[in-house]
Amino acid sequence: MSAKSRPSRKDVGKIETIEEVVKKHDIDTVYHMAAILSATGEKNPQLCWHVNMDGTMNILELGLKYEMARIIVPSSIAVWGAGVPLDDTPQETVLKPTTMYGVTKVCGELLGDYYVQRFGLDVRGLRYPGIISHETLPGGGTTDYSVEIFYEAVDKGKYECFLKEDTMLPMMYMPDCINGTIQLAEADFSKLKHHCDFNHAATSFNPTQLAAEIKKHIPGFEITYKPDYRQEIADSWPNSIDDSAAREEWGWKPEWDLSSMTEDMLKHLRERKEAGTLYER
Ligand code: SER
């Protein structure tokens, strides 16, 4: 996007700047994606709270004021922490996150559900796993390795991973994430038993498995491991999650797995490398 066509930056934590946009464009549906993710959140927990909580509250308040049709507030696998079953983590289980990001996501789910029950506002949300995209560069999360690895594989043929080789995490390719989010947004509200906390899954893998998949396309690819502070965050999150509530209540079904996603990611990034625009956005 050129600087000319880039929308001006807004602070979601300042309600007046967002209200201006809502009024100007007569907005009746918000996909509220603004958030500070887990790794950045641990470097600045106060900023994480401000953006994630004040931001969400502002959007919900504007939803009420302007009688919006619908607000979608994504949550995350970061809602989980100590005491949770790590395999096939169920929809209903203990939520004891250890990161500020996770704390804000649990609060965001509860806040959204509160606005549904108390004010009848149509708010919906789903717990995103690590999202992998060839359009968006990693943005300060613990699952970022799963995006960085593709860029470095295409660019340099090697990658130093900040998580341990056997760190299994739930992951999803961006097209599934977009489809799922739109499916939930368009679902019949009266059929939803949950609102802001749907488990949302596609696949799960660890760095060794992802590297092996990349090697099928780039045989010389090498991965090394140098775990940092993000390892502890990753260790507090599930290996895989049970998304049967999403499947039953709004028909969720993923289309991409590790193998098809890897092939597609590499195809797009190789094209961009050839065009000399690998890191351009
Ligand atoms: N991708 C996010 C993170 O790593 C999890 O929702 O923080």
Report pTM: 0.95
- Phi then psi dihedrals of residue 140, to 5 deg: 90, 25
CATH of 15-275, one of 2.40.10.340, 2.40.30.10, 3.40.91.10, 3.40.50.720: 3.40.50.720
* CB 203 within 8 Å of CB 172: yes
Q: Give the three-class secondary structure for 147.
A: helix
Centre of ligand 1 to C-alpha 139, Å, is 9
Atom of ligand 1 nearest to the CA of 39: 7
- Phi then psi dihedrals of residue 100, to 5 deg: -65, -35
Cα–Cα distance measured from residue 237 to residue 41, given in angstroms and rounded to the nearest whole number: 16
- Each residue of 16-62: pLDDT tens digit? 999 999 999 999 999 999 999 999 999 999 999 999 999 999 999 99
Residue nearest to atom 3 of ligand 1 (CA): 141
Residues 6+ apart with CB under 8 A from 182: none
Say yes or no: CB of residue 146 within 6 Å of ligand 1.
no
- Confidence (pLDDT) at 6: 60
* CB 198 within 8 Å of CB 127: yes
- Phi then psi dihedrals of residue 193, to 5 deg: -90, -35
Say yes or no: CB of residue 98 within 6 Å of ligand 1.
no
Atom of ligand 1 nearest to the CA of 37: 7
Q: Does residue 173 have an active-site annotation?
A: no
Residue linked to tokens 């990161």: 99
Whether residue 281 is predicted with pLDDT greater than 60 in this model: the reply is: yes
Confidence of residue 139 (pLDDT cuts 50, 70, 90): confident
- Each residue of 205-215: pLDDT tens digit? 999 999 999 99
Annotated catalytic residue within 101, 128, 145, 173 = 101
